[in-house]
Amino acid sequence: MTVLILAGGYGTRLAELGKNTPKPLLKIQNRYLLDYILEKIKPLKDVEKIVLVTNNRFYGIFQQWAKERSGYACPIRIVNDGTNTPEDRLGSIGDIDFVIRQENLRDDLLVVGGDNLFEGPLEPYVRFSREKAPAVTIGVYDVRGLEDAKRFGVVGIDAHDRIVFFEEKPVKPRSTLIAMCLYYLPEKSLGLIADYLLESGKSDTAGDYIRWLYQKTDVYGFPFRGKWYDIGSVESYREARAEFHAGEV
Mean pLDDT of the chain: 91
Helices (H) and strands (E) in the chain, counts: 8, 13
Domain that holds residue 56: 2-138+181-243
Helices (H), 44-108: 59-67, 92-102
CA gap 239, 81 in Å, rounded: 30
The CA–CA distances, whole Å, from 76 to 22, 39, 44, 49, 53 equal 17, 14, 15, 6, 11
Give a yes or no: residue 20 inside a domain.
yes
Give a yes or no: residue 86 inside a domain.
yes
* pLDDT > 90? residue 238: no
Domain count, the chain: 1
Give a yes or no: residue 74 inside a domain.
yes
Give a yes or no: residue 104 inside a domain.
yes
Which pLDDT score is estimated for 247? 47
Give a yes or no: residue 100 inside a domain.
yes
- 151-170 per-position pLDDT tens digit: 899 999 999 999 999 999 99
* pLDDT > 60? residue 248: no
Q: What is the CATH number of the domain that holds 230?
A: 3.90.550.10
Split at pLDDT 50, 70, 90, the class of 12 is low
Q: Cα 121 to chain center, whole Å?
A: 15
3-state class (DSSP) for residue 32: strand
CA gap 197, 221 in Å, rounded: 22
Give a yes or no: residue 166 inside a domain.
no
Which pLDDT score is estimated for 17? 65
Q: Are strands 136-142 and 116-118 parallel, antiparallel or unpaired?
A: unpaired
Give a yes or no: residue 144 inside a domain.
no
Give a yes or no: residue 171 inside a domain.
no
- 126-155 per-position pLDDT tens digit: 999 999 999 999 999 999 999 999 989 999
